[in-house]
Amino acid sequence: MNTETKDIPSVDTHANQALLSVESLTCVRSDIPLFSNLSFSLGKSQSLRILGPNGSGKTTLIRTMAGIHKPAMGQVHWNIGQQGSRGFASKPKIAYIGHTTGIRGELTAIENLEFHARINGNLSGISPTECLEKMNVAHCSKLPCIRLSAGQRQRVALSRLSLNQYDLWLLDEPATSLDDQGIDLLLDLAGHHLNAGGIIIYCSHQSIHYGLKHDREIDLRNFKEQPPQC
């Protein structure tokens, strides 16, 4: 179907072939280059942790992977479609949990999840209530989300991860305002996701990385180009 996938052995579907590859990505915010020439690739069940100080472009990288930002240069490739087991469509299914939760205050947790289920096409058959139970917030599913605490809202947002069999999770500081139990639940979910062959890219300053294994680490400081000196 295309040239990128022809050298990948199609017999062994469990080999760690590159499912997602990023080539020479360069991102710019407000004319300031954040990082350049960033390349990496991830296969099934792999996770990547992005490191870097504030302002180094972690969020920008994650949003670029989600397709929200356009990179100044470089590209993001998805080699999907040849595995029958996960039933890939041509478009990768991406779950993104950002700094803003994507949770509408007027709606209840259930309604929020239902909306996300609808816009993402249909799901893996898991009901919104079950998703909420996985993050242990089912008890407040009937309340408007504006009345929930920040941690509870974050849990509702994270419940979205169970809505679908996503190919890629993009987690931008997912442990924000979560308590220990919340972090444990998130780690559980992440473990299941990786076992099912999914990919995770995340950045976090918090203790979540003690529990969540990561196969790769990228420090964005290494990809920052210095401006030319006079």
Site for other proteins, rule CB under 8 A: 1-2, 4-5, 24-26, 28, 30-31, 33, 36-37, 63, 66-82, 88, 90-92, 94, 96, 98-107, 111, 115-116, 118-121, 144, 225, 227-228, 230
Structure tokens that stand for 156 in this block: 């509702």
Judged by CB, which is closer to other proteins: 148, or 209? 148
Name the minimum Å distance from CB 68 to other proteins.
6
Name the minimum Å distance from CB 113 to other proteins.
11
Name the minimum Å distance from CB 135 to other proteins.
17
Distances from the Cα of 148 to the Cα of 1, 106, 131, 183, 184, angstroms: 48, 11, 17, 18, 20
Judged by CB, which is closer to other proteins: 104, or 207? 104
Name the minimum Å distance from CB 105 to other proteins.
7
Judged by CB, which is closer to other proteins: 158, or 209? 158
Q: How far is CA 75 from the centre of its chain?
A: 17
**Which amino acid makes up residue 173?**
E
User: Rounded to an integer, what distance in angstroms lies between the CA atom of residue 137 and that of residue 84?
Assistant: 34
**For 108, which DSSP code?**
B
Judged by CB, which is closer to other proteins: 195, or 229? 229
Name the minimum Å distance from CB 31 to other proteins.
7
Distances from the Cα of 103 to the Cα of 148, 162, 179, 210, 211, angstroms: 11, 15, 19, 28, 26
Judged by CB, which is closer to other proteins: 25, or 209? 25
Distances from the Cα of 24 to the Cα of 36, 41, 60, 94, angstroms: 7, 11, 15, 21
